[in-house]
Amino acid sequence: MYISELIKRKRDGSELSKDEINYMVNGFVKGHIPDYQMAALLMAIYFRGMSATECIDLTMAMVDSGDKVDLSGIEGSKVDKHSTGGVGDKTTLVLAPLVAASGGIVAKMTGRELGHTGGTVDKLESIPGMQVELPKEKFVEVVNHIHVSIAAQTALLVPADKHMYALRNRTATVDSIPLIASSIMSKKLAAGSDGIVLDVKTGVGAFMQKYEDALELAATMVDIGEGAGKRVVALITSMEQPLGYAIGNAIEVKEAIDTLRGDGPQDLVDLVKELGSDMLLISGVVSSRNQAIDIIGRNIETKKGLEKLGELIEAQGGNREVIENPGLLPQPKINIEVKSKSSGFVEKIDARDVGLASKILGAGRKTKDQPIDPSIGIYLMKKVGDKVEEGESLATFYSDGNKDKIEPAKERFLNAYSIGRKRVKPPRLFYARVNRNGVEDLK
């Protein structure tokens, strides 16, 4: 097999065979196929796309490039969840323990911050003592024991993705739906769950800004997962304004704890119930969505979800007392009120700008290996639809006091807010549900 022939075939719009895709992935990982040929091939894929069969073959070839997590020793249907990334998206911190408390088995592998969005691994690491970099044996053991674990993806899981992503990042071939879908799904499949619920974000704060792209990505991932014999459901949800009020690391853990105690922001609670009901449904724990939503609601009221989070923190080496006393989480040096320069109603909050403001303030990394200051973040006081007076706080910045960060962060943050005369409704949160039966429109 000649790789240049293979590039030519893809360039000319032909479908690559399973053997050809295996050759491409293995050859690249093993170094037989040089970067420059892989780069040309990836760009040809960018332009020509991939068929459903090619996407499945690519995903499976990537899965086979590394370690797999074997959850088969755990009885019952294991379920995973993935979000394509949003600002203030602490959903997993609420959802995973809540679904486990409701009878599901949640084996969740997750990543660090990417672009303008935070990462669940970074958020969890703000809990004193909490270990997220688990060996896969430990991960399996925790799931087995308490029916929930959240662990960082290891580099040994899908090394092909790691190599390909690094190359894509330098060759403008990241924004390709087949490549994104196979990258996400290869990691989900290697992580060993039986069911996968995907939260595909769309809007100004999401990687897929256009609904049509989010829908195509969702459908591609469902096809890949179902093609691999898994149960997969994708929700397409809004990421116009940030989710909830907290953006950062410790600050988001605190909001997750509040939510599990029954004091959560409405959008986050709604999202947790919708995603959670899908997780319970595909796990076979419940037989109807209403039943699922009832159980989840009850487990918030009774604080069983919060207790499960405590168990999870303890099982992974953290201080479980934070669930009763969030003051144990890292606290910022100073709080700064960011005040509105005009009166009116909040018409729009650009989630992307808020995410970037939070990074500028210090809640992100400057370089890949830098540690994060977990105490830094932004707490919103106003969301879309809220009335605001001139001089009233739009948000509180949790800061380390460094003015070189505060001023530009403030500028970026204020830029995110559109304040007008007319009261607007909060934006729609749910767009659609995609599963093997097709697309269901959600109101």
State the catalytic residues. Answer: 82, 161, 168, 183, 187
Dihedral angle at the C-alpha atoms of 208, 214, 219, 222, nearest 10 degrees? 60
Answer yes or no whether residue 8 interacts with a copy of itself by CB under 8 A.
yes
CB-count burial class (<10 Å; 0-12, 13-18, 19+) for 85: buried
Q: Whole-number minimum distance, CB 285 to a copy of itself, in Å?
A: 45
Out of 17, 18, 35, 289, the residue judged to bind a copy of itself by CB under 8 A? 35
Distances (CA, A) of 72 to 146, 196, 253, 339: 16, 16, 31, 54
- E strand or H helix at 59, and its extent? helix 52-63
Q: Whole-number minimum distance, CB 208 to a copy of itself, in Å?
A: 16
Looking at beta carbons only, is 40 or 281 nearer to a copy of itself? 40
What residue type is assigned to position 370 of the chain? Answer: Q
Looking at beta carbons only, is 171 or 291 nearer to a copy of itself? 171
Out of 38, 62, 142, 271, the residue judged to bind a copy of itself by CB under 8 A? 38
Restricting to residues 170-229, name those near a copy of itself by CB under 8 A. Answer: 170-173
Residues 121 and 110: beta-carbon distance below 8 Å: yes
- Please list, in sequence order, all residues whose beta carbon lies within 8 angstroms of the beta carbon of residue 292, skipping any fewer than 6 positions away: 102, 276, 277, 280, 281, 285, 286
Taking CB under 8 A as the binding criterion, the range among 29-37, 135-143, 242-250, 406-414 that sits at the site for a copy of itself is 29-37
Distances (CA, A) of 365 to 117, 359, 418, 424: 11, 7, 28, 35
Looking at beta carbons only, is 169 or 343 nearer to a copy of itself? 169
Q: At what angle do helices 18-30 and 52-63 cross, to 10 degrees?
A: 40
Out of 4, 266, 325, 415, the residue judged to bind a copy of itself by CB under 8 A? 4
Out of 24, 44, 93, 432, the residue judged to bind a copy of itself by CB under 8 A? 44
Dihedral angle at the C-alpha atoms of 3, 6, 7, 10, nearest 10 degrees? -160
x-marked contacts with a copy of itself along 131-170 as a string, rule CB under 8 A: ------------------------------------x-xx
Answer yes or no whether residue 294 interacts with a copy of itself by CB under 8 A.
no
Q: Which residues bind a copy of itself (CB under 8 A)?
A: 4-5, 7-8, 11, 34-40, 42-44, 46-47, 167, 169-173
